[in-house]
Amino acid sequence: MTIELELQKTVSSFLDTNYHIQVPSEQIVLQETKKEFEGDITLVVFPFVKQARKAPEMIANEIGAAVTAQLDDISGYNVVKGFLNFSVSQRYWMNFVSERVGDLSYGLTAADPNAAPVVVEYSSPNTNKPLHLGHIRNNLLGWSVSELLAANGNNVKKVNLVNDRGIHICKSMLAWLRFGNGETPETSGMKGDHLVGKYYVEFDKHYKEEVKALMEQGIEEEEAKKQSPLMLEAQRMLKRWEEGDKEVRDLWQKMNGWVYAGFDETYKKMGVGFDKVYYESNTYLLGKELVQKGLDLGVLFRKEDGSVWCDLTGDGLDQKLLLRKDGTSVYMTQDLGTALLRHNDFGAERLIYVVGNEQDYHFKVLKLILGKLGFDWADKVYRLSYGMVELPNGKMKSREGTVVDADDLIAEMEKTAEEMSKEHGRNSDLTVEQQQHLYHILALGALKYFILKVDPTKNMLFNPAESIDFNGNTGPFIQYTHARIRSIVRKGEEQGISISNPVAMTQEFELSDKERDVIKILHDMPSVVRQAAENYSPAMIANYAYDLAKAFNSFYQDTPILRDTDAATMQFRVQLCDIVAQALKNTMKILGIEVPERM
């Protein structure tokens, strides 16, 4: 039992016995003592003043005296007004370290494969362009949240829904037919997703030219957009696709095949994957069936032009289109079908959608319509909404070709990692193959950490140069700290120090303040991992890892780890180093970041 649990139980019992105040132990709120005060754990006693009918200082002193007398691991206390600060004994901290020796899964809870799964959908790319920086945040967040939930014992299933049909896909197809001259990934030397994305941009360029020409003839802009010959042809192509036209379907399969090969290559570079991939082309028909069910139930209605809508004005929203007047489906159509299919496939305990905050309205509507269709599991739908990623020069626009391509960004990050590693002399004793692997994991560590350390709900500004610094709150700083610790442990083992057997202290030594700080942060890891999962926040894990790395480096600078004259003390400190390295490895793994053994 942790010292916090013992404190909660003891305080709860004292309040009941002495003040007749019934507070369940789990509701006793403890917090870390502020740096300016002596102590480790603080209890705020103000909530008990009214019922106890005593001054805050008196209550705090009475609780403090009782707890100190009852718990051997509380070495003392002090009172600052209504704040009761407990000091934890050195023996407790040293025993904590001894109990963690060799624990490779410290802070993590093994997933239960028999539990109802938590399904996390992320990525959800369109097959008309390559993955870009915005997709990177989605993928990294989805992967990390999945790992975070799994680290708390959940049976997690990672899924991807590929948006492989629709008007945007037809735009790329039509532009390739019109302007591609039979170009392929092989003849162009381009990745397939890049090639298709090139023609999505090409469509937009010609479309704007047509709209401009029509406006010069005196036609209003909105009407000009509707009358654009290129757009009208794209719409006809979509209708032909939904009718199963062989020529259109064959072209669609060919170009999507190019894109999938490109996506797979990028996913591999990013280190993400999926347990199952869904395709909109396979789910939109089920969505259409649900639309018909909604019409039969009277929760949807058809307008005079044939389009189908859901009236959500009673829910404080507006009317939502589910089928166009020509019978073609929209995003909501396929999302209804996908949600049902996913529920049937997994019987999920939760359905989590990782989506940009510009889609908040869409997923609010999805949940409402599922409920109106009679699905009681609609309440299990949760949208993990994240903010946009911007660059120093502003937002990205796919149609205009101003996106930051994921492949190019990763390549640039690897180049920067190589330059900075050489500048700092980090790789002099590594083989060429080891060096290349180091550059790759440093680049991804920098990218992932920089993105994941930000609260998911916030917009963020991505600065590649800042992200890969070996100092400060960055992935490479934590990676280097891990490599430094592993070097210390190896040297200790070479000196005959055991890291697998708990230390039998011949005499108790005094823990330094910085040594104690490291141990206290380690002690917090299980609760941080739990709280991060409750908040779907990898940022809490990232910042915990940074705090631990920073505290360790401060301890390392002040402490002769391998030069102490007492063998037991030296063994204790090397074991502490090993536990810190494992904690950094475990937390960074949640973020999808590999930590090197050597740098």
Kindly report, residue by residue over 127-161, the tens digit of the pLDDT: 999 998 889 999 999 999 999 999 999 999 999 99
The token pair at 366 is 């999805």
Judge contact between 166 and 280, C-beta under 8 A. yes
Residue 51: what are its φ and ψ, rounded to 5°?
-75, -35
Same domain? For 176 and 130 the reply is yes
Confirm whether 58 is domain-assigned: yes
**String of DSSP letters for 9-52:** HHHHHHHHHHH-----GGG--EEEPPTTSS-SEEEE-GGGHHHH
Residue 403's pLDDT band, with cuts at 50, 70 and 90, is low
Confirm whether 228 is domain-assigned: yes
Confirm whether 73 is domain-assigned: yes
**String of DSSP letters for 260-318:** HHHHHHHHHHHT---SEEEEHHHHHHHHHHHHHHHHHHTSSEE-TTS-EEEE-GGGTS-
Q: Domain boundary residue among 39, 69, 88?
A: 88
What per-residue confidence (pLDDT) applies to 399? 42
pTM of the predicted model, to two decimals?
0.90
Confirm whether 402 is domain-assigned: no
Helices (H) and strands (E) in the chain, counts: 21, 14
Same domain? For 128 and 183 the reply is yes
Q: How many CB atoms lie within 10 A of CB 566?
A: 12
Measure Cα distances from 299 to 30, 307, 316, 364, 434 in Å. Answer: 49, 14, 16, 17, 61
Judge contact between 119 and 344, C-beta under 8 A. no
Count, residues in the chain:
599
The token pair at 159 is 């899924």
Alpha-carbon dihedral sign for residues 7, 110, 543, 557: positive
Judge contact between 322 and 308, C-beta under 8 A. yes
What per-residue confidence (pLDDT) applies to 395? 47
The token pair at 180 is 């591609």
Amino acid identity of residue 484, one-letter, is R
The distance between the two most distant Cα atoms of the chain, rounded to a whole number of Å, is: 95
Mean pLDDT of the chain: 92
Same domain? For 228 and 176 the reply is yes
Amino acid identity of residue 370, one-letter, is L
Q: Average pLDDT in the 485-511 region?
A: 83
What per-residue confidence (pLDDT) applies to 400? 45
Same domain? For 315 and 446 the reply is no
What per-residue confidence (pLDDT) applies to 503? 72
Strand partners, 100: none
Domain count, the chain: 3
Same domain? For 59 and 185 the reply is no
In this structure, the strands spanning 156-162 and 276-279 are: parallel
Same domain? For 38 and 72 the reply is yes
The string of pLDDT tens digits covering residues 1-30 is 899 999 999 999 999 999 999 999 999 999
Same domain? For 298 and 414 the reply is no
Of 186-190, 297-301, 393-397, 570-574, the one with minimum mean pLDDT is 393-397
* Percent over 70 (pLDDT), the chain: 96
CATH number at residue 575: 1.10.730.10
d(CA 125, CA 356): 12
Measure Cα distances from 252 to 167, 176, 281, 453 in Å. Answer: 12, 11, 11, 39
Judge contact between 265 and 192, C-beta under 8 A. no
Same domain? For 288 and 428 the reply is no
Q: Average pLDDT in the 550-560 region?
A: 95
What per-residue confidence (pLDDT) applies to 389? 84
Residue 427's pLDDT band, with cuts at 50, 70 and 90, is low
The string of pLDDT tens digits covering residues 453-484 is 999 989 988 877 788 877 889 999 999 999 99
Confirm whether 419 is domain-assigned: yes
- The closest of 283, 292, 323, 332 to 305, measured between CA atoms, is 323
**String of DSSP letters for 322-346:** EE-TTS-B-HHHHHHHHHHHHHHHH
Confirm whether 558 is domain-assigned: yes
Residue 401's pLDDT band, with cuts at 50, 70 and 90, is very low
Measure Cα distances from 399 to 190, 205, 549 in Å. Answer: 19, 8, 42
Same domain? For 40 and 128 the reply is no
Q: Average pLDDT in the 378-402 region?
A: 71
**String of DSSP letters for 176-232:** HHHH-TT--HHHHT--HHHHHHHHHHHHHHHHHHHHHHHHHTT--HHHHHHH-HHHH
Strand partners, 386: 356
Same domain? For 291 and 360 the reply is yes
The token pair at 117 is 């799964």
Owner of token pair 């949940």: 367
Measure Cα distances from 308 to 113, 316, 328, 369 in Å. Answer: 41, 19, 10, 13
CATH number at residue 80: 3.30.1360.70
46 is in which domain, residue-wise?
3-88
Q: Is the pLDDT of residue 398 over 90?
A: no
What per-residue confidence (pLDDT) applies to 560? 87
CATH number at residue 312: 3.40.50.620
Q: Average pLDDT in the 257-284 region?
A: 95
Q: Domain boundary residue among 390, 419, 435?
A: 390
Within 13 Å, how many C-alpha atoms sit on residue 256's CB side? 20
d(CA 355, CA 122): 7
Measure Cα distances from 17 to 7, 22, 168 in Å. Answer: 15, 9, 69
What per-residue confidence (pLDDT) applies to 494? 93
Confirm whether 301 is domain-assigned: yes
d(CA 24, CA 15): 10
What per-residue confidence (pLDDT) applies to 599? 84
The token pair at 306 is 């044939």
DSSP 3-state of 439: helix
Residue 510's pLDDT band, with cuts at 50, 70 and 90, is confident
Q: Average pLDDT in the 558-574 region?
A: 89
Same domain? For 74 and 196 the reply is no
Residue 393's pLDDT band, with cuts at 50, 70 and 90, is low
Q: Domain boundary residue among 390, 419, 442?
A: 390
Q: Average pLDDT in the 226-248 region?
A: 95
Same domain? For 82 and 195 the reply is no
The string of pLDDT tens digits covering residues 165-201 is 889 999 999 999 999 999 999 999 999 999 999 999 9
Own/partner contacts of 204-213, CB < 8 Å, gap of 24 or more, are 204/171, 204/399, 204/400, 206/175, 206/178, 206/179, 206/230, 207/171, 207/231
Residue 405's pLDDT band, with cuts at 50, 70 and 90, is confident
Of 45-49, 326-330, 367-371, the one with minimum mean pLDDT is 326-330
